[in-house]
């Protein structure tokens, strides 16, 4: 099985709410007022309903689906600033590919495309997007798509649990070819999840 994750970065929390309102208006999903995630369905460009897991925090909205949702980026591009679409293979628990888009005049424009590192469970992408783009990538939304061995990051996992800034940076630099930067590390450690209350727990990983 494969799954697709959409990471939408909005200008601020107000813009994020506008994106959530668009989801509710254009798709058969109801966004609760006092929650931060929901299971529902999205309608693709062909009119097919696709089951989705949606979560939101700070200026980000995270969407997990099994197949891609045709037309989703183009239809919503006037509501977000940047977006990442990533494909995962559940057999190897690998992020096979991730593409960063920017919204330009209400149209999605591809910025950069990366191949994943086998069996890192998307952690390499978390690191790469933070260092190179200060983008808060997550591997899924609220709930993981399947039982998993490798630790993946959902919307409500604090990535500081990976001990950024330690000698593990040598590992990520070697695997991704991206050198750690002070700005990138500060970005990772300044995770909005840590301010969300006791409901969230930091990820622990070897």
pLDDT, residue 100, reads 98
User: Please, are residues 65 and 39 in contact by the beta-carbon 8 Å criterion?
Assistant: no
Task: Tell me which residue has tokens 């007022």.
Answer: 33
pLDDT reading at 96 higher than 80: yes
Strands 2-9 and 60-65: antiparallel
Structure tokens at 45: 């460009």
Q: What is the mean pLDDT of residues 77-101?
A: 94
**CA 135 – CA 187 distance, rounded (Å):** 9
For residue range 152-180, list pLDDT tens digits in order. Answer: 888 888 776 555 556 677 888 888 899 98
Q: What predicted TM-score, i.e. pTM, was given to this entire model?
A: 0.92
């Amino acid at each position: 099985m494969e799954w697709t994750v959409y990471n939408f970065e909005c200008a601020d929390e107000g813009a994020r709410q506008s994106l959530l309102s668009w989801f509710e208006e254009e798709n058969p999903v109801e966004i609760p007022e006092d929650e931060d995630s929901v299971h529902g369905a999205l309608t693709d460009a062909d009119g097919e309903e696709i089951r989705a897991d949606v979560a939101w925090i700070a200026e980000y909205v995270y969407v997990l689906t099994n197949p891609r949702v045709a037309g989703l980026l183009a239809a919503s591009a006037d509501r977000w600033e940047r977006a990442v679409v990533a494909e995962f293979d559940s057999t190897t628990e690998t992020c096979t590919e991730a593409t960063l888009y920017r919204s330009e005049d209400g149209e999605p424009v591809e910025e950069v495309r990366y191949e994943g590192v086998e069996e890192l469970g998307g952690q390499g992408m978390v690191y790469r997007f933070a260092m190179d783009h200060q983008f808060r990538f997550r591997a899924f939304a609220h709930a993981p798509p399947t039982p998993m061995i490798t630790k993946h990051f959902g919307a409500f996992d604090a990535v500081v649990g990976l001990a950024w800034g330690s000698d593990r940076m040598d590992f990520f630099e070697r695997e991704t070819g991206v050198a750690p930067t002070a700005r990138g590390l500060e970005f990772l450690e300044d995770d909005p999840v840590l301010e969300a209350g006791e409901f969230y727990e930091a990820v622990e990983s070897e």
